[in-house]
Structure 1
């Protein structure tokens, strides 16, 4: 069939118009492998929920283990330490493994650790199980973002990571309250056994639908110090460390902060507002990240700063608390996707090493945020939390603005 005169004339005026139109049409037809990406999102959900679930079950767990609630709270700390101490060396040691085998190994680690946690009556054994869960998390976190990237064409990689990272706000806004309710209704051990059951289902899901990829050849395996020398990696790692530290100072003690505002009985609703706004943030970031990574990171920093400023100005509870929580969620929800994507882009051939360092610093910041928040609470009270967040976000904003060429460029490489 011959082309119409109008089409032929248009092609004659612009020889590149037809190929460009074909490329645009091909990009529009490209689809994300949603079944596989949702399996990764479920793995992220399990990782996040395994870490934070004890926070909602401290009284029940401490009674069963025969230790204080503060000692039981260290089950969260030891998890973060397991991740921080092992993410880099294990990522280097397993760089040659096929990716699906490594993912299944990490997920199986969660099944084993949560099962032991559920049946253990000894504090020491529980702490060992939690450390093992943190080790599995270190493997998973260093792997998942890169896995999602490899499943999608360059133009859709940001969206792929956004889908995979959606498990974080879902775990925090829905998983923790649901797990807490289940634990209070049927016992905390049932909550952890339910996690094991979900993990077993996930193992079958991954086996069935997630594609496999080879690991790296020996000469290509990640070298951490070399990755630090790649332009853009250090700004991304700095922003990760300080931003997560700022967030954790407030989030880890949000119940105490709200109680001091007279809203202790509304903590679940405030966190629900935060979680829903985080999901909206992930959707926005997923839709726009391939062209607006830099502006989205700046916007996220400013939104969390605005939330902190509003929290700092409050002298009591009320609707403005929910407004601040929504601003916080809008700024924070998409941040894991933004930072994982920025680290992968900046790392280039050393992306796995950059991701492993990001995971390590993320968990270091979480542990440090809990410690710093405790010190501030004892020294100055919970009112110091939002001011600390504002102070920490100033260098974050400065580094993002300065990293225009590498780290947080206005246009992602290859897009």
Structure 2
């Protein structure tokens, strides 16, 4: 500061060159304050990510009970996952553009409130059609929240800690996959699937209070500054990040969506829960590593993540007859995949610059398109070739992913992040 007084109003002592200098303790405290993450607020965002991720996949563990109550087949009930992804994919971009001027906290509260209403309707509905509508609305609300959350976390943190802030917010994904889905399935099997969805509503209501109390507010964009999606797509670096998002998530989903079938064909069907637990634990480790290093090593971490998932797929393709190597592959898969959401959302925000919100909306859209596409592609491969084709497909898809990351060294996945 240019003033000769420090923030406490105490006169600054003269330095060796005669200039006024702030007290050492004040300087140190100011630096520490600037480098501190708002953990309570970021944890609220992580819970929002957890709830949206868990709600998307929860029906997969509750299909028999849900199909019985809704009086439809299990395959029809499984489309409640698909319609969620479709709702997100179709509306993330237009809704993000339409709400660009909204204050950020108001928008987040609105999205999570819609999420709570949709889960409540799902829990009490006895009509398959109404359930599908509610699931679509939940997907719409989740897509709006997802397009907002990474940028929100980024704005809360000082530049050197922005990667860590996004990593903390995105930690809800591996937690949902590794712990949330098994816990939700157990709750549904014990007390009924409707209780599992009502529990999601209760948690969301608590989260709304948490956001209201702990999360800071930020203004939206002025009308003249609101980004257009096509303009964002022309910004150098945005297209490579979106391509990597689409193909990487597609590769992951082809195997993950049918991992139970794949393991069952290997004779490890009863070990599916344990394999997923190993995957989830490794994912948490991966996101911790990414959060600690992303500020300076986004490019190398992105390459390493793709390579780890590729090595995992190679092990499953060639050496899946070894139980120990299957667990090794699951660990490498989780280690590589855990930090991918953080890496891609950070890369999209960096590349997008002034169009970061638009880039995030397109990323969320393509992410969900890839998830839906992975389920469809996996089903086709399963029927035509068999589950043994999944690891080879993952390998084939990761080759262009690695190529684009390596080639996008100036824009998209640069050797040095802006501000690093």
Does the TM-score normalized on the shorter chain lie above 0.5? yes
How far apart in 2 are the matches of 1:222 and 1:139? 16
- The equivalent residue for 2:73 is 68
CA-to-partner distance for each residue in 1:327-375, whole Å, 9 max, x for gaps? 0001000000000000000000000000000000000000000000000
- The equivalent residue for 1:104 is 109
1:114 touches 1:196 (CA, 8 Å); kept in 2? yes
How far apart in 2 are the matches of 1:78 and 1:23? 52
Structure 1 runs of 4+ with >6 Å offset: 22-25
**Which of 29, 39, 47 is the matching residue for 1:42?**
47
- The equivalent residue for 1:237 is 242
- The equivalent residue for 1:81 is 86
Is 1:324–2:329 an aligned residue pair? yes
- For residue 31 of structure 1, give the secondary structure of its aligned residue in structure 2: coil
Give the TM-score normalised by structure 2.
0.93
How far apart in 1 are the matches of 2:82 and 2:287? 27
Is 1:386–2:391 an aligned residue pair? yes
List gaps (5 residues or longer) in structure 1: 12-18
Deviation for aligned residue 1:270: 0.3
1:305 touches 1:390 (CA, 8 Å); kept in 2? yes
Is 1:404–2:416 an aligned residue pair? no
Deviation for aligned residue 1:314: 2.7
- The equivalent residue for 1:133 is 138
Alpha-carbon spacing, 1:404–1:184, altered in 2? closer, same or farther (3 Å): same
**Which of 337, 344, 348 is the matching residue for 1:343?**
348
- For residue 140 of structure 2, give the secondary structure of its aligned residue in structure 1: helix
Is 1:228–2:233 an aligned residue pair? yes
- The equivalent residue for 1:14 is none
How far apart in 2 are the matches of 1:203 and 1:230? 35
- For residue 212 of structure 1, give the secondary structure of its aligned residue in structure 2: coil
- The equivalent residue for 1:395 is 400
Count of aligned residue pairs for this structure pair: 403
How far apart in 1 are the matches of 2:322 and 2:374? 24
CA-to-partner distance for each residue in 1:9-68, whole Å, 9 max, x for gaps? xx9xxxxxxx9xx79982686210000000000000000001000000000000000000
Map 1:28-39 → 2, pairs under 5 A: 30-39=35-44
**Which of 369, 372, 379 is the matching residue for 2:377?**
372
1:88 touches 1:357 (CA, 8 Å); kept in 2? yes
How far apart in 2 are the matches of 1:65 and 1:388? 35
Give the TM-score normalised by structure 1.
0.94
- The equivalent residue for 2:215 is 210
How far apart in 1 are the matches of 2:410 and 2:28? 27
- The equivalent residue for 2:295 is 290
How far apart in 1 are the matches of 2:406 and 2:194? 47
- The equivalent residue for 2:63 is 58
- The equivalent residue for 1:15 is none
Alpha-carbon spacing, 1:63–1:388, altered in 2? closer, same or farther (3 Å): same
Alpha-carbon spacing, 1:111–1:2, altered in 2? closer, same or farther (3 Å): closer
2:34 touches 2:158 (CA, 8 Å); kept in 1? no
Is 1:175–2:184 an aligned residue pair? no
How far apart in 1 are the matches of 2:304 and 2:182? 29
**Which of 259, 281, 292 is the matching residue for 2:264?**
259
Deviation for aligned residue 1:83: 0.2
How far apart in 2 are the matches of 1:222 and 1:168? 28
2:320 touches 2:326 (CA, 8 Å); kept in 1? no
CA RMSD of aligned residues (A): 1.9
Is 1:199–2:204 an aligned residue pair? yes
Deviation for aligned residue 1:318: 1.1
Deviation for aligned residue 1:316: 2.6
- For residue 262 of structure 1, give the secondary structure of its aligned residue in structure 2: coil
Map 1:116-155 → 2, pairs under 5 A: 116-155=121-160
CA-to-partner distance for each residue in 1:106-128, whole Å, 9 max, x for gaps? 10011101100000000000000
How far apart in 2 are the matches of 1:190 and 1:321? 35
